[in-house]
């Protein structure tokens, strides 16, 4: 009997640029492609329907692609260590391959699987693939530290050079041992599950409303379509893009890159080939720069302890945010698009219905929830984003919430986004609001950002009474924003005093 290998699909839900998969198939006669739905990682109640639906659709697309080359996907449910252990024993697996991960929970799991394969004397191929570079290599290149500014990260990137070129997808795969696999005491779905199969999440499939089409083929198609617009690629600069555009003004590749349907290295080299011989914008504002932001967020998330919380996190300012029930009441209104500020509510409605918003739209609502207006802890906002985003990404999401709350990386707390003025620059007529807060659609443009200022007669004519059909603003922005700046100053002053009495945070370089 030949060797059976098991490839455990994690983030990298793709066939192209999948080094661990290639390693596994090199020496086996039969391959089990396995995805494990880990309900501890995707906790019911904490994962929204669009995020989960997009994941399942990505698995469905992967299954289709695998079937086209003589294989198929098996989807099991449970703790990966237990599931893989049982598969190894029952199916006499000779090799296990998987993509290593940078998130704390997944790092622990990596260690467990590596130990398990050692114990059971099975060959293992745990390899990096979700980032452009091996994060351990980047840390070593930077004396063990993660750069905490883009300037120092760019220096590191110039030392590192280009990331490795992506590898081609396999043309065929060794067949699985049987079409319908069983494994004692492991729950294996019949095919790829649908939202209705995941009963513990209590989803109503009607609420799956994101417009993103999942899968590797689609991710590559979207990338190629964007790259074909050479001028757009060569002049791309962020933040100079439109958060209120009704069609994404940026690539909208994040759901594919996050799910690993599109390799970040494939996108990097696609950009490089496209821009060969052309004058183009430069990092950090260019598209290559966006990939560098991603890489930097991953490296920091990989190396900074407690990066997903304020407590015990050496780079996070200690700020006395609102937490507990007081915060929860404010958070609920924010999450449900009921703040009374149409621009903020439009973004939050887009988040819940589409699972994606423009980067600057994320800026607006994250600032509003934290240091701008509501003074709610960034950790709760992060959770809401993580629940609904189809591109929910542990590293980038945590990184960005640090930034927007001025907890790390960005410290100009005296610069706040105005929930009234910000979107007027790109959308004076409020078309974005009219789309995402349809109750306000009939309001004259003049009142669209401040509907509470419309005379009663206009409110009646628009069939929307402010305070009844749509909420009044939950805070007086001008007032709370000033008050919060004073609170931020106090927190910064306190942390300065505290830091001056302590040795510098070890091993974390700032410049
Ligand atoms: P483009 O501008 O076309 O960029 C191309 C790719 O570069 C993106 O797909 C993404 O992989 C990467 N990228 C772009 N901007 C950033 C950035 N600022 N930091 C790191 N990587 C970046 N992005 C996520 O992918 N997942 C998240 O969970 C997430 N949470 C965020 C939370 C907040 C509060 C904020 C302010 C930003 C967050 N972002 C997150 C970053 C950014 O908003 C999205 O990556 C971007 O809007 C996705 O759209 P795009 O693919 O069109 O980006």
Instruction: Show the ligand 1 pocket: residues with CB < 6 angstroms.
Output: 238, 248, 250-254, 257-258, 290-291, 293-294, 297, 358-359, 362-363, 366, 385, 389, 391-393, 396-397, 400-401, 404
Give the number of the atom of ligand 1 that is nearest the alpha carbon of residue 386: 28
**Residue closest to 384 by CA, chosen among 372, 371, 370, 433:** 370
CA 71 to ligand 1 centroid distance, Å: 33
The DSSP annotation for 126-142 comes to EE--SSSS-HHHHHHHT
CA 241 to ligand 1 centroid distance, Å: 13
Dist CA 400 CA 394 (whole Å): 10
Dist CA 284 CA 293 (whole Å): 7
The predicted pLDDT at position 180 comes to: 85
CA 452 to ligand 1 centroid distance, Å: 33
What are the C-alpha distances in Å from 391 to residues 214, 264, 383, 384, 419? Answer: 11, 14, 13, 13, 24
CA 98 to ligand 1 centroid distance, Å: 25
Considering the chain, what percentage of its residues have pLDDT values greater than 70? 97
The predicted pLDDT at position 510 comes to: 36
CA 357 to ligand 1 centroid distance, Å: 9
- Nearest residue (by CA) to ligand 1, atom 11, is 254
Residue range 198-212: mean pLDDT, rounded = 97
- Nearest residue (by CA) to ligand 1, atom 43, is 359
The predicted pLDDT at position 478 comes to: 96
Question: Cβ–Cβ contacts within 10 Å for residue 418, how many?
Answer: 19
The DSSP annotation for 357-400 comes to --HHHHHHHHHIIIIITT-B-HHHHHHHHHHH-TT--HHHHHHH
User: What is the predicted ipTM?
Assistant: 1.00
With a cut of 60, say whether residue 187 has pLDDT above it.
yes
CA 362 to ligand 1 centroid distance, Å: 9
The neighbouring-strand residues paired with 35 are: 9, 75
- Nearest residue (by CA) to ligand 1, atom 17, is 293
* 426-446 pLDDT per residue, tens: 999 999 999 999 999 999 999
Beginning with the edge strand found earlier in the chain, give each strand of the sheet holding 93-99 in spatial order.
Answer: 123-127, 93-99, 4-9, 30-37, 74-77, 187-188
- Nearest residue (by CA) to ligand 1, atom 32, is 397
- Nearest residue (by CA) to ligand 1, atom 14, is 290
CA 9 to ligand 1 centroid distance, Å: 23
Q: Give every CB contact of residue 480 below 8 A, 6+ residues apart in sequence.
A: 373, 374, 375
74: DSSP letter: E
Ligand 1 pocket test, pick from 359, 370, 384, 407 with the greatest ligand atom count within 8 Å of Cβ, gives 359
The neighbouring-strand residues paired with 36 are: 76
The predicted pLDDT at position 504 comes to: 45
With a cut of 50, say whether residue 214 has pLDDT above it.
yes
Q: Give every CB contact of residue 113 below 8 A, 6+ residues apart in sequence.
A: 8, 80, 81, 84, 96, 98, 124, 126
The predicted pLDDT at position 502 comes to: 55
The predicted pLDDT at position 179 comes to: 80
Radius of gyration over alpha carbons of the chain, in Å?
24
Residue range 351-369: mean pLDDT, rounded = 98
CA 254 to ligand 1 centroid distance, Å: 6
pTM: 0.97
């Amino acid at each position: 009997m030949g060797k059976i290998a098991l490839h455990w699909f994690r983030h990298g839900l793709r066939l192209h640029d999948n080094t661990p998969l290639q390693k596994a198939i090199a020496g086996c006669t039969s391959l089990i492609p396995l995805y494990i739905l880990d309900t501890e990682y995707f906790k019911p109640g904490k994962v929204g329907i669009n995020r989960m639906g997009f994941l399942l659709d990505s698995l469905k697309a992967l299954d289709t692609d695998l079937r086209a080359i003589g294989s198929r996907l098996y989807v099991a449910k449970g703790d990966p260590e237990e599931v893989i252990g049982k598969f190894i024993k029952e199916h006499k697996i000779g090799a296990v391959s998987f993509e290593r991960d940078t998130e704390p929970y997944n790092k622990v799991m990596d260690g467990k699987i590596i130990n398990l394969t050692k114990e059971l004397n099975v060959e293992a191929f745990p390899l990096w693939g979700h980032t452009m570079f091996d994060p351990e290599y980047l840390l070593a290149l930077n004396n063990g530290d993660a750069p905490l500014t883009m300037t120092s990260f760019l220096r590191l990137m110039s030392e590192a050079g280009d990331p490795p070129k992506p590898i081609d997808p396999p043309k065929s795969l060794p067949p699985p041992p049987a079409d319908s696999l069983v494994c004692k005491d492991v729950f294996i779905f019949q095919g790829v599950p649908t939202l209705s199969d995941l009963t513990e999440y209590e989803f109503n499939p009607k609420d799956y409303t994101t417009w993103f089409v999942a899968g590797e083929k689609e991710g590559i198609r979207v990338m190629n379509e964007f790259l074909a617009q050479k001028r757009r690629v060569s002049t791309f600069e962020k933040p100079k893009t439109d958060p209120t555009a009704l069609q994404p003004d940026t690539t909208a590749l994040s759901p594919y890159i996050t799910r690993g349907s599109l390799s970040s290295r494939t996108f990097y080299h696609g950009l490089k080939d496209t821009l060969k011989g052309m004058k183009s914008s430069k990092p950090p504002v260019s598209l290559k720069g966006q990939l560098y932001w991603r890489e930097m967020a991953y490296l920091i998330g990989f190396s900074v302890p407690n990066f997903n919380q304020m407590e015990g996190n050496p780079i996070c300012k200690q700020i006395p945010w609102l937490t507990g029930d007081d915060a929860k009441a404010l958070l609920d209104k924010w999450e449900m698009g009921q703040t009374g500020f149409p621009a903020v509510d439009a973004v939050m409605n887009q988040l819940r219905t589409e699972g994606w918003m423009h980067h600057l739209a994320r800026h607006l609502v994250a600032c509003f929830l934290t240091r701008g207006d509501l003074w709610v802890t960034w950790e709760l906002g992060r959770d809401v984003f993580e629940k609904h985003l189809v591109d929910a990404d542990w590293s980038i999401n945590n990184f960005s919430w640090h930034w927007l709350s001025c907890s790390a990386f960005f410290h100009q707390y005296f610069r706040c986004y105005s929930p009234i003025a910000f979107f007027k620059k790109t959308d004076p007529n409020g078309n974005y609001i009219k789309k995402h807060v349809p109750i306000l659609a009939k309001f004259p443009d003049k009142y669209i950002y401040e509907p509470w200022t419309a005379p009663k007669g206009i409110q009646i004519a628009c069939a929307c009474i402010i305070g009844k059909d749509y909420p009044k603003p939950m805070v007086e922005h001008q007032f709370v924003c000033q008050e919060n700046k004073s609170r931020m100053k106090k927190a910064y002053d306190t942390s300065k005093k505290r830091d001056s009495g302590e040795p510098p945070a070890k091993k974390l370089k700032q410049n």
